[in-house]
Amino acid sequence: MEKKLAGILTRYRENEGNLISILQDIEHEFGFLREDAINWVSEQLDIPPAKFFGIATFYAQFHLKPKGKNVITACCGTACHVKGSERLINSLVKELNIPDGDDTSEDLKYTVEKVNCVGACSIAPVIIVNKTVHGKVTPDKLKKEMKNLKEEKHEYTDYI
């Protein structure tokens, strides 16, 4: 861990980065903001950890808990909202056994994230399954996709 973090710090010093870019790098490296990682960086830079957590809790992009293996992002933009995204989210939460008030299943297999808008409103409602954008999603289409996901038939693509 320390080796990876040292690399992040070097990049930060070379590129006149800031605390947000350090946190973005940590999140990218470990999938979430590990408390021990933040404490280590804070000690190295002599900046109180509270400063880091202040930023981490302010921005929606940061996670203080690990995310699931599969990340399903549901768009909650206006166009998606009027086209029934709420119902899709409810069925995702139910189908993937996401506990109340949480976004990740207990077995760390699935995370259901809500985002404000992915900017693909003309194909609303939009669900992103592991970086693949699905447009004009219907409850039926979603069910099939979840079935594929559970049976691990899902194709991992990296276009978006």
Partner 1 sequence: MNKDVSIKVCMGTGGIAAGGVGVIASFEKAFASANIRATVEKNCSVHKVGCRGFCARDVLVDVIVDGAKSTYEYIKPDMVERIVSEHIVGGSPVGDWLVKDDYHTFHDKQVKVVLSDCGEVDPEDIDSYISRGGYEAAKKVLETMSPQETIDVITASGLRGRGGAGFPTGTKWNMAIKAPGPKKYLICNADEGDPGAFMDRSVVEGNPHAVIEGMLIGAYAIAAPYGYVYIRAEYPLAVERLHLAIKQAKERGFLGKNILGKGFDFNIKVKLGAGAFVCGEETALIASIEGKRGQPRAKPPFPVQKGLWGYPTIINNVETLANVPYIMRKGAAWYAAMGTEKSKGTKVFALTGKILNSGLIEVPMGIPLREVIYDIGGGIEGGKKLKAVQTGGPSGGCIPASIVDTTLDYESLGKVGSIMGSGGMVVLDETDCMVNVAKYFLQFTQSESCGKCVPCRIGTKRLLEILTRITEGKGREGDLDLLETLSSDVKTSSLCGLGQSAPNPVLSTIKYYRDEYEAHIFEKRCPAGVCKDLLSYGILEEFCKGCTACTRVCPAGAIIGEKKKPHKIIQDICIKCGACFETCKFKAIKKG
Near partner 1 in 78-107, by CB under 8 A = 78-79, 81-83, 87, 90-91, 94
Q: Which helix (H) or strand (E) holds 129?
A: strand 127-129
Our measurement of the distance from residue 145's CA atom to the centroid of its chain's CA atoms, rounded to an integer in Å, reads 19
Bridge pairing between strands 110-115 and 70-75: parallel
CB of 65 to partner 1, least distance (A): 16
Verify binding: residue 50, partner 1, rule CB under 8 A. no
Q: Which helix (H) or strand (E) holds 115?
A: strand 110-115
Among 2, 139, 144, 147, binds partner 1 (CB under 8 A): 139
SS3 82: helix
Inter-residue contact 80 to 119 (CB < 8 Å): no
Name the residue nearer to partner 1 (CB basis): 9 or 55: 55
CB of 12 to partner 1, least distance (A): 10
Among 8, 74, 112, 126, binds partner 1 (CB under 8 A): 126
Name the residue nearer to partner 1 (CB basis): 64 or 82: 82
